[in-house]
Structure 1
Amino acid sequence: MRLGRYSHSHSHKHPSAPKLVVLLCVVGLLGAALIADFLWASSSSTSTALRYVTSNWSVHRASTIIVPNNAVNRSSVHDDKGKAKGQKKDGVPERFLSATFADLPAPELHWEKLPSCPVPRLDGFAIQIKNLFYVFSGYGTIDMVHSHVDIFNFTDNTWCGRFDTPKEMAHSHLGMATDGRYIYIVTGQYGPQCRGPSARTFILDTETKQWSDMPPLPAPRYAPATQLWRGRLHVMGGSGTNRYDPEVDHWSLAVKDGKVLEKGWRTEIPIPRGGPHRACIVVDGRLIVIGGQEGDFMAKPGSPIFKCSRRHEVVYSDVYMLDDEMKWKNLPPMPKPNSHIESAWAIVNHSIVIAGGTTDKHPITKKMILCGELLRFDLDTLKWSVIGKLPYRVKTTLVGFWDGWLYFTSGQRDRGPDDPSPRKVIGEMWRTKLRF
């Protein structure tokens, strides 16, 4: 402003040579800075767009975007008083934000709504055996947990049965695997809010609905990666007894036809990165572990009800495979960090399909951000792609696949199209026809 007033009010006079040199230098420096800033922002925006449009996700790097003043960001950035931290008075954010929390571009799919699960549930688990879908336990609300199994029949799309779980069995954050008749259940959280874990383990005979015990785990865990592989039940990672510390322990137990063949668990090679809420899949003789997080909600110190209190969490996109030599190998990472997907996957046409989940927290509000994408990992090419959108964003949903249809039920959904933070625990059942 001072330069402008000088040149305008004294336009009839010629400035001295030193003053003119200073003026030209200042103008030149300002111009150079503006050009550099424009080029940097353009380059960042372009690279971000390319990163999220491409279907080849073999490499994932952190990216940045300049948050625009649009409806999505207004709803997710503003706090309860209608003001956002880090914004100017005109509502435009002043900082560059990580783009990993944003929705990925995805094609629309036609979803058909089916009869809802008899109860809404969060952090439950599901196992599919042929056309039957066994949906286990979970939270009803933060203060109430379920202690039963609901059964869905994919043949006629009806909920067709219910039976109780053992009184000693955990209610959420379970680990599960099946051999096609018997379901093996390990560890998990016992009770509502953020109560402690149990090391108890069980076997369910799905034909007789009879339960039996297995040896307890060497230490209790929350939401460990669990699978049957080469005649052994493998349990890996999860959170430790305080519900927060990521653990890397890996144990296995020989089992066959619902019988335990050993007296105790055997220590195996640790998983490269610990933590809960990841998918664990055996396909083509390969054991694959996908996504997850480090850290979780913890019980508030001194709370008589173990009230949940949020702590810092790190969500990651890592994918590991255990090979024939019992060595872990890195596979191409997910399109973005993703957690709460332990039962949100299905094998479809030699691909792994994953529905929903959670990703990096919002960098301004620090709220948890849910995912609404349907991801595909092609086991032939080892490439990730985004193949569709869910009806809404949802975490810890339960996924099955039957006769060309992909199903999902339960979990915790978002607050609406413009607010990806979690709100309502649901029991809805949806399906869509997959073609690829």
Structure 2
Amino acid sequence: MAHSHLGMVTDGRYIYVVTGQYGPQCRGPTARNFVLDTKTKQWQDLPPLPVPRYAPATQLWRGRLHVMGGSKENRHTPGLEHWSIAVKDGKALETEWRTEIPIPRGGPHRACVVFDDRLYVLGGQEGDFMAKPGSPIFKCSRRNEVVYDDVYMLDDDMTWKVLPPMPKPDSHIEFAWAIVNRSLVIVGGTTEKHPNTKKMTLVGEILQFQFDTQVLFLIFNNLMVFTLS
């Protein structure tokens, strides 16, 4: 099973763990997938993805486990692919993943949410650290990263719709959200590099996306903010 940069979603009992990085530093990804039954505490295998990905958007929607985007095998190149597989009670009902409509913009570290039978994907980035060429320990080497504010929605038409953008670019938010009433609340994340130090900047805001108006706005901006090397 992947150690980091995996996709994860739960229906309340079963936790689906999808693809991701196997090992420390910037090692390669695995295409293997698993499901944990939190009642019996037992793990089971799921069919592997056609190809592995880093940190793909992952969600359960209409009886299927959806996996989309993420970074390709080199950890840096954005992936556009979108696959799904039918699941029920922690078991795959199919032996192979089905190809779905590609996501308009690839990349990892996005929020992926289902509400009112619609699938939403918010934020994310293009690019990430890569293994330094020739490094025996796959030491991470920085590459250019572009954090974005894109918001997409998939509904009955099975066509990605572009919604109004986020108030600011935001990444690393795949597990930084919660649905409150009829809104999606996103806390923190990472955004553009600091203009002077060029270090990654952490988001100090709380954002709210209203599902009825499909508009995302700032509701709080006094969190402590740091920069990362």
Q: Is the 8 A contact 1:188 1:223 kept in 2?
A: yes
Structure 1 residue 341 and structure 2 residue 173: aligned?
A: yes
TM-score (norm 1): 0.52
Root mean square deviation of aligned Cα: 1.1
TM-score (norm 2): 0.97
- The CA distance in 1 between the partners of 2:222 and 2:52, in whole Å, is 34
Matched with 2:121 is 289
- The CA distance in 2 between the partners of 1:325 and 1:383, in whole Å, is 20
Matched with 2:28 is 196
Deviation at 1:365, TM superposition (A): 2.2
Q: Is the 8 A contact 2:207 2:217 kept in 1?
A: yes
Q: How does 1:205-244 map to 2 (within 5 A)?
A: 205-244=37-76
Structure 1 residue 176 and structure 2 residue 8: aligned?
A: yes
Question: For 2:205, what is the secondary structure of its paired residue?
Answer: strand
Deviation at 1:266, TM superposition (A): 0.4
Matched with 1:247 is 79
Q: Which amino acid aligns with 2:165?
A: P
Structure 1 residue 331 and structure 2 residue 163: aligned?
A: yes
Bigger relative CO (Cα 8 Å, ≥ 6 apart): 1
Deviation at 1:377, TM superposition (A): 0.7
Structure 1 residue 311 and structure 2 residue 117: aligned?
A: no
Q: Which amino acid aligns with 2:228?
A: P
Q: Structure 2: which 5+ runs fail to align?
A: none
Structure 1 residue 273 and structure 2 residue 105: aligned?
A: yes
Q: Is the 8 A contact 1:221 1:239 kept in 2?
A: yes
Q: Is the 8 A contact 1:197 1:222 kept in 2?
A: yes
Q: How does 1:34-433 map to 2 (within 5 A)?
A: 169-389=1-221, 391-393=223-225, 414=226, 421-422=227-228
Q: Is the 8 A contact 2:205 2:223 kept in 1?
A: no
Percent identity between matched residues is 75
How many residue pairs match? The answer is 229
1:131-158 CA-partner distances (Å, limit 9, x unpaired) = xxxxxxxxxxxxxxxxxxxxxxxxxxxx
Deviation at 1:363, TM superposition (A): 2.7
If you compute each CA radius of gyration, which structure gives the higher value, 1 or 2? 1
- The CA distance in 2 between the partners of 1:322 and 1:278, in whole Å, is 15
Question: For 1:377, what is the secondary structure of its paired residue?
Answer: strand
- The CA distance in 1 between the partners of 2:216 and 2:113, in whole Å, is 16
- The CA distance in 2 between the partners of 1:223 and 1:317, in whole Å, is 17
- The CA distance in 2 between the partners of 1:385 and 1:391, in whole Å, is 16
Deviation at 1:391, TM superposition (A): 4.3
* Poorly superposed stretches of 4+, deviation over 3 Å: none
Flag the structure with higher helix content: 1
Change (3 A) 1:315 1:285: same
- The CA distance in 1 between the partners of 2:214 and 2:154, in whole Å, is 15
Q: Is the 8 A contact 1:355 1:390 kept in 2?
A: no
Change (3 A) 1:182 1:315: same
1:83-142 CA-partner distances (Å, limit 9, x unpaired) = xxxxxxxxxxxxxxxxxxxxxxxxxxxxxxxxxxxxxxxxxxxxxxxxxxxxxxxxxxxx
Deviation at 1:385, TM superposition (A): 2.1
